[in-house]
Structure 1
Amino acid sequence: MEYNDVVKHLAPCGLDCMRCADYEHGEIKQLSSRLIQLLGNFRPVAKMKTEKQPIFNGYSQFEAILTSFSNGSCSGCRGENVQCPITTCSAKTCHKEKNVDFCFQCNEYPCEKQFTGRLRDRWRYINDRMKEIGVIEYYYEQVKLPRY
């Protein structure tokens, strides 16, 4: 994968938009849509299964969550329709002002305006790691791990 392709996958803060549950072109959206298609009209079957497997009483909730995943519409932080639940992120706009792709590339990294607490620790780890091994290598390393 080329650097420019990785930039399309990773947000300026370093999180992987492609594997986010809200991303409009993400794998979670694609897989959720496919599962909805495969299940078709499973609701009557779920109702029959409840006697032996009471967990199926919650099928309608599962279906609602799956539908929500399949409706992901976030463009990612580099796009115009940002739906990221992390509202305290300065990198969404700051990277444009500083003309960098990722926070670690900025002369002011690590700045004080980006995150606090555990989220800041994660942000620092991600950016320090990209700086250490390179953006492409970091992408391949993190893509093997769970997103959440």
Structure 2
Amino acid sequence: MEKSEVIQKLSVCGLDCSRCADYENGEIRNLSSKLSELLNGYERLAKMKAENAPIFNGYPEFIKILSHFAEGTCGGCRSDNVKCPLDCQAKICRVERSIDFCFECDEFPCDKQFQGKLRERWIERNNRMKEIGVENFLIEQSKMPRY
């Protein structure tokens, strides 16, 4: 895997955008779209099943959530179409300092990025990328749960 491919998947702060539930080219979006297609027309059966399995009363809400995942509207933190809910200074630093990842900055770890547990995880991720390389970091992250 080349660094350019890694840069498309990992955000500047080290989060794996490609495995985010909102990522427009991610697996969650693709699988949700496929499941939506496979369940097309299931509403009628869900109503019938609800008589014996009340959990199916929640099927319309499930479909709303599934549809949301299937939309996948975020282009990732390096795109112009960022939907990440995190208030992240790294996106600005990337442009101002011409860096790909926070650990590449002379001021890492700066006081501008995150607070509390999120800050600790940000520092850990960046130190790990620096230690093993971004390509190996992405491989390592892909074997771990995203959430």
Query: Is the TM-score greater than 0.5?
Result: yes
CA distance in 1, matches of 2:47, 2:85: 34
How far did residue 127 of structure 1 move?
Answer: 0.5
CA distance in 1, matches of 2:47, 2:16: 37
CA distance in 1, matches of 2:135, 2:95: 21
Deviates more, 1:108-117 or 1:19-28: 19-28
Give the aligned partner of residue 4 of structure 1: 4
Give the aligned partner of residue 22 of structure 2: 22
| 2:89 alignment partner AA | S
Write out aligned runs for 1:78-89 (5 A).
78-86=78-86, 88-89=87-88
CA distance in 1, matches of 2:77, 2:133: 21
Q: Please state whether the residue corresponding to 2:143 is helix, strand or coil.
A: coil
Give the aligned partner of residue 60 of structure 1: 60
Cα deviation code 1:60-111 (max 9, x no counterpart): 110000001111111111111111011x200011111111100001100000
Give the aligned partner of residue 131 of structure 1: 130
Give the aligned partner of residue 31 of structure 1: 31
Q: Please state whether the residue corresponding to 1:23 is helix, strand or coil.
A: coil
Give the percent of matched residue pairs that are identical in Structure 1 and Structure 2. Answer: 56
CA distance in 2, matches of 1:121, 1:43: 45
Normalising by structure 2, we get a TM-score of: 0.97
Give the aligned partner of residue 90 of structure 1: 89
How far did residue 48 of structure 1 move?
Answer: 1.1
Q: Give the total of aligned pairs.
A: 147
The list of structure 1 runs, each at least 4 consecutive aligned residues, that deviate by more than 2 angstroms after superposition, is none
| 1:106 alignment partner AA | C
| 2:92 alignment partner AA | T
Normalising by structure 1, we get a TM-score of: 0.97
